[in-house]
Amino acid sequence: MKPEIVIFYIVSSFIVGLAFLTVFSRRIFRAAVFLLFCLLGIAAIYFMLDADFLAALQIVIYVGGIVVLVIFSIFLTHQSGEKMPRAKIRRWIPAVLLSLISMFAILLVVFTSGFKRSEQVWQVLSVKEIGHQLFDFTNHGYVFPFEIASILLLSALIGCIVIAIQIRKSN
Amino acid sequence: MEQIPVTHYLVLSTVLFCLGVLGFFIRRNMIALLMSVELILNSVNINFVVFNRFLYPENMEGVFFILFIITIAAAEVSVGLAITINLYRKFKSIDIEETDQLKY
């Protein structure tokens, strides 16, 4: 029993447990912190799968950007501290049924379709290769989605400022 | 990581996806809704990495998909939180059962 296998099962149960706590926790601040550790666990999975660049990206952007933004907005909407009310029963039962049925349907497909591993070896991601293909015009290059993503980020930035701004009247 | 079958990784990502969907339908707080959406997007990212590494290791397409998913998730969460903050100013609450009126 190699240690990598044991570590994978420990980390994945950590991730699932924290995701469960995120979804069912009644205090919003604790849910944000559980989400933070869940995303760190997912970064650990990326490290184990030899995708170091993606793990670093996940930690920097998701954990260090998005969850911090969520925590700031929890402070700005004065939510931390109180227990949130539970959802009504009328909402719980169809949601749980839908989620369980879809999980079993997806697992059925996953276990009945044979995923054959390829024999080739995966090279550890090198940032140079990613950069070459990201800015390539030909040969399945990704320069066009990259430019569109930068326009999207600019418009999201401007949109957030416009939506959340508070214009004080100067009297 | 060669002894763990591919399906075990996919079970992990399926469970995360279904927990995200469950949280999206159950939660009353709007910020908690956005956190459940983040869980869904992360489960899809795990799927992409697993398929890229084990089934098509000569390509790098999965990595680029994940790059763009992370980018778009960041943009979407920030706009969603800006809307939430604006909503809080009007209704003094971000409970979706209480914020139930349109503008006029």
Does the pLDDT of residue A168 top 80, yes or no? no
At A126, the pLDDT band (50, 70, 90 cuts) reads: confident
Q: What is the pLDDT of residue B2?
A: 67
Put simply, the answer to whether A156 touches B49 (Cβ < 8 Å) is no
pLDDT: which is higher, A21 or A1: A21
The mean-pLDDT minimum among A156-165, B37-46, B51-60 falls in B51-60
Round the average pLDDT of chain B to a whole number and report it.
90
**Count of CB contacts below 8 A, A vs B?**
222
Chain A nearest-CA residue for B92: A77
For residue range A60-88, what is the model confidence (pLDDT) as tens digits?
999 999 999 999 999 888 766 667 777 77
Q: What is the pLDDT of residue B71?
A: 95
Round the average pLDDT of chain A to a whole number and report it.
89
| Residue range A91-119: mean pLDDT, rounded | 90
Separation in Å, CA A135 to CA A132, A144, A147: 6, 9, 10
Q: What is the pLDDT of residue B104?
A: 61
Long-range contacts of A132-138 (CB under 8 A, 24+ apart): A133/B60, A133/B64, A134/B64, A134/B67
**What percent of chain A is modeled with pLDDT above 70?**
96
Put simply, the answer to whether A95 touches B63 (Cβ < 8 Å) is no
Q: What is the pLDDT of residue A170?
A: 66
> Which candidate in B2, B10, B13, B18 is best for mutational testing of the A interface (most A CBs within 10 A)?
B18
Are the C-beta atoms of residues B78 and A159 closer than 8 Å to each other? no
Q: How many C-beta atoms lie closer than 10 Å to residue A120's C-beta?
A: 9
Nearest CA among A158, A79, A77 for reference residue B90: A77
The alpha helices in chain A, defined as continuous H runs, are: 3-24, 28-48, 52-57, 67-76, 89-112, 127-134, 143-164
Distance from C-alpha of B49 to C-alpha of B19, rounded to nearest angstrom? 20
- Chain B: give the shortest CA distance to residue A118, in Å: 5
Distance from C-alpha of B64 to C-alpha of B70, rounded to nearest angstrom? 10
For residue range B71-92, what is the model confidence (pLDDT) as tens digits?
999 999 999 999 999 989 888 8
- Tokens representing B72 are 């778009």
At A155, the pLDDT band (50, 70, 90 cuts) reads: very high
What would you measure as the largest C-alpha separation in chain B, in angstroms? 61
Instruction: Give me the sign of the Cα torsion angle A133, A138, A142, A147.
Output: positive
Q: What are the φ/ψ torsions at residue A85 (nearest 5 degrees)?
A: -75, 155
At B51, the pLDDT band (50, 70, 90 cuts) reads: very high
Amino acid in position A74: I
A122: three-class secondary structure by DSSP:
coil
